[in-house]
Each structure stands twice: as structure tokens, then as C-alpha cells.
Amino acid sequence: MYLLARTILIIIAVFIISRLLTSLFMHFYSKKRLGRVAFFLFLLQISAHIVFPIYYKFIRPDEISLLKQETTIIKKSKELAHKIVFVGMDGADWKVILPLIHKEELPNFKQLMEESSHGNLMTIKNANSAVIWSSVYTGKKPQSHGINDFYTIQPMGFSSPGIYPVHRTFFPEIAGLLEKIPLATRNTVNRSFLNSVPLWEILKEANLSIGILNASFISYPAPELSGTDDFFVSHGLETYVGKYTDHLNALEDQLERFIQPTEFFSRLKPFFSPNKISDRASIFLNFLEEDEQKDFMNVYFDEPDHVQHKFWKWYQPEYFFFPKKRNIEAFKDKIPDVYRYYDEWLGEIRKQLEPETVLIIASDHGHTPCILNKNAYTAHRHGPPGILIINGSPIKRAHAFQSAHILDIFPTILYLIGLPVPEDSDGRVLEDAIDEEFLHDNPPRYIPSYDFLFSKSLSNREKGLLDKEELERLKSLGYIK
């Protein structure tokens, strides 16, 4: 309501100023009606350029300092603020986890479930991972956060960020053709395509310490950090480094777009090698072992999704037409192996966590077996549910919650870390998962919106450094043509 009133006021201000200027100008200049209308529209534009900068310069700073005051108070009330470790597992699915737990093959997942709230995580239909993770990190539906696909198509000569392919089955071919001519380019989405504030920018503003290791597409480019021990590794680093492994020294000047602070690269370097592009899991564990745990830490893994697309045919061969026996033998463990690997990692991670930490594991969607194309034996555009596991002292134990949605992660993290929850979020605090006494003693506090933190500096759509490489990667995975 507050936001709506504010927007209407700004529009009225723009209108009145331009109306006055038009009358004034016309009084001295011309009486022609059409010219008058055109000139009015022209001035409407100009006035908007006057009113909006004034608004951002003189009205927003107050709100920001208000938030700062508020967050200092929050930081002092320690009993409410919990450190959060958030693990994103693209495409992770109960359909794989539960049978493996039943076979006693995932002891750490099993133990975690006994000590946590867990259940299906409903998701957004007709979307892909770039879109859904943007909703996870902003608490907004795609219509509000503005990311609608992995990439936009930008016709030659247009400086705009391009348009999203409206229909994926038809558009990629046209885009492919136009690219060859070359009449168009494809831009992979990044932070500058976002119309809403991502979680880490709110946490930074609240002076909380952060450590982020890839937060999907919108984490590129890495933001400048204020905290001395904070780190932020953006999406795309591995593709970039993988491409230039032999010239790592030459690309250090480009690294600030991927890593903040850039000195951090010396710590990541040992994990990169020509044959093994990255090992995000080991890097993250290494940070937890050697550094102080940050207020918010996040790592995002894409392996479950890739491996499930590629190998489900041999994981559940009964869903497919006569897969070859020797292929079943060779590939049937590819998917379980991924989960066994993360199970072991989870055990190691949990040993490192400070006692009051809340651990959240979530996937953006599940998978349904089907023949999607020659590289993919599962699909998820119809939105099969993902997984959500939350564990920590303010969270119910061995509890299966009724319903949770992708959009609920953002407000729930803000609540648990001790910050006000924005009223304009499309999700809600997942109260069903939270201990009743804790919830009673610490009811969620609300703020109209965090939109005033939205950084204007990124509004010149920054073209990714890695567009070509990233697109090749997406093509090789069968995501785009």
C-alpha cells in the first residue's frame, strides 16, 4: 500500500511538472495542437529524469540509514540472529534420496532428516534453473525479478539487453540462424538483468558477514564487499578459468568480476586444474575449516541436475525402451554416486558448523523421467517439486512440514538471521518448520520492501565476459540449442 501510494505520488509529480513546463513553453512559442502534445510527451520524459534522481538522492538515503539503525539493533539481540549455511542443490529430488536412505546408503542425510524439518518444495512452472534460483534469492516471482530464461536475444544495433525467447522450442533455431549471419547475439543473464534486490545485497547492507560460492547466474558479477573477511565467488568462474587454464596469470586483471576480494583467487587456485575444472564442495569445506564461519554462507551445486538429465535412463531403466544391459551396468550408479558424494560432504560440513547455525538444503525443482532430447532423459519445466531440509535449534526436529514454496526461502532466511521480512515478498516465513516456542518469543518483524536498496549502478546492463563460453556450456548440457 505504502509502495503504491509512493509510486502514484511520483507519477503525479512528474505529470504536474511537465504540464507546467509545457504551458510555459507554449505560451512563448507556438499554438499548434499536435506540437503541443508531442512537446508535452517530450517534457514528461525530461521531468521523469529530474524527479527520479531527486527521489533517489534525497529520499532513499533516509530509508537506508533507517534500515542500518534497525539492523544494528537486530545484531545486538543475539538470541534471534542465527548464522545460516545455505546449500543449493540444483535438481535434487526425494525420488533418489529416500530409496538410498532406505538402503542405508546416505547416513548423513538420514541423520539430518531425523534432526530437521523437511518436505517437498513447490516450485515455479514453465521456468528453468536461471529463473527459479532468481526467485530463491529475491523472494519474488519472475514477473517481479525480471529473469525469464538463461539468456536474451539482442538484435544487432540495439543497445537494449535484448528480449527473452518467448517460446523456447521455436526461438533457439531462429536465434541460432541470426547468430550465424550475424544479426543477433545471445546474452546470458546476470545480476544486471535483475529488477529486484538479491539476498546478499540486503545482508551486506545490514553489515552481516557473507561468504558466497556461486549463487547461480545472478551472482555475476561479484559485488564489492565491505567486510574484511567476506568473500564472494560469482557464477561462471569455473567456465572462465577452465577456458584459460594455461593463461591464468594473464587473466588476473579480469578476476574482480568473478571474485571479491580478488586476492582470494590464490586460495582457489589449488582447486583448479586442466582436467578437473572445479571442486566447489572441497573449496567450501576448506573455507569452513580454515576461516571463521560467516553470518551467511552459501554454496550452489549444479551436479545433481546435470547428472540426472544425463543418466536417469540407466538409473530407472524400466521407464525407457530397452536400454542396453551393459550400459545399465556401466551407468546405473552415476546418479546415486552424486548423492553418496554429497552425503559424505554433508557429514564433514556438519562437523564444522557452529552450534547455533541453521543449515538449509534446497533444490529448485525435481525431475521426471522422459526422453527430452538426445542428451536428456528427464524433464522439469512442468515444475516437479524439489527438496527442502532445515536444521538448527530454532527448527522443529523430525518434522515433515505441510507445504513450502521456493519463494518462502528468502523470507525464512531473513527471519532466521534476524532481519525484518519484506511485505512485498511473494513468499512467506515458513512458520510450520519453526519451533513453536521460538516463533512465539520472536514473531517475524516486517518492513514494506527492500527495493530501496536496489542498486542503480548496475542499470547499464553489463554484458557478461563469459557469454560465449557459458552458452557453449549450456548447449553441451542440452539446455539450449
CB of 267 to Zn ion, least distance (A): 30
Q: Does 343 bind Zn ion (CB under 5 A)?
A: no
CB of 364 to Zn ion, least distance (A): 9
Residue type present at position 220? Y
Reduced to 3 states (helix: H, G, I; strand: E, B; else coil), residue 325 is helix
Site residue total, Zn ion (CB under 5 A):
1
Question: Between residues 90 and 295, which has the closer beta carbon with respect to Zn ion?
Answer: 90
- Beta strands, E only, 69-204: 84-89, 117-122, 151-155, 184-188
Please choose, out of 42-50, 299-307, 411-419, 428-436, the segment that lies near Zn ion by the rule CB under 5 A.
299-307
Find the distance separating the first CA and the last CA of the chain, reported in whole Å: 43
Please choose, out of 147-155, 265-273, 278-286, 303-311, the segment that lies near Zn ion by the rule CB under 5 A.
303-311
CB of 198 to Zn ion, least distance (A): 21
Question: Between residues 115 and 305, which has the closer beta carbon with respect to Zn ion?
Answer: 305
CB of 475 to Zn ion, least distance (A): 14
CA distance 167 to 442: 46
CB of 309 to Zn ion, least distance (A): 6
247, with CB counted inside 10 A (0-12, 13-18, 19+), is exposed
CB of 380 to Zn ion, least distance (A): 6
Cell (9 digits) for 190: 546476470
CA distance 390 to 392: 7
* 389, 396 Cβ separation under 8 angstroms: no
Question: Between residues 295 and 305, which has the closer beta carbon with respect to Zn ion?
Answer: 305
CA distance 221 to 212: 12
Question: Between residues 201 and 305, which has the closer beta carbon with respect to Zn ion?
Answer: 305
Give the residue at shortest CB distance from Zn ion: 305
Q: Which of 149, 205, 305, 408 binds Zn ion (CB under 5 A)?
A: 305
CA distance 342 to 87: 11
Question: Between residues 203 and 406, which has the closer beta carbon with respect to Zn ion?
Answer: 406
434 Cβ contact list (under 8 Å, min separation 6): 117, 394, 395, 396
In 10 A of CB 211, how many CB atoms? 24
CB of 278 to Zn ion, least distance (A): 19
Q: 447: which strand partners?
A: 422
153, with CB counted inside 10 A (0-12, 13-18, 19+), is buried
Angle at CA of residue 266, ends 265 and 272, nearest 5°: 75
Which parts of 230-249 interact with Zn ion (CB under 5 A)?
Answer: none
Question: Between residues 45 and 373, which has the closer beta carbon with respect to Zn ion?
Answer: 373
Please choose, out of 199-207, 302-310, 393-401, 414-422, the segment that lies near Zn ion by the rule CB under 5 A.
302-310
CB of 187 to Zn ion, least distance (A): 20
Please choose, out of 68-76, 158-166, 305-313, 465-473, the segment that lies near Zn ion by the rule CB under 5 A.
305-313
Q: Where on the chain is the footprint of Zn ion (CB under 5 A)?
A: 305
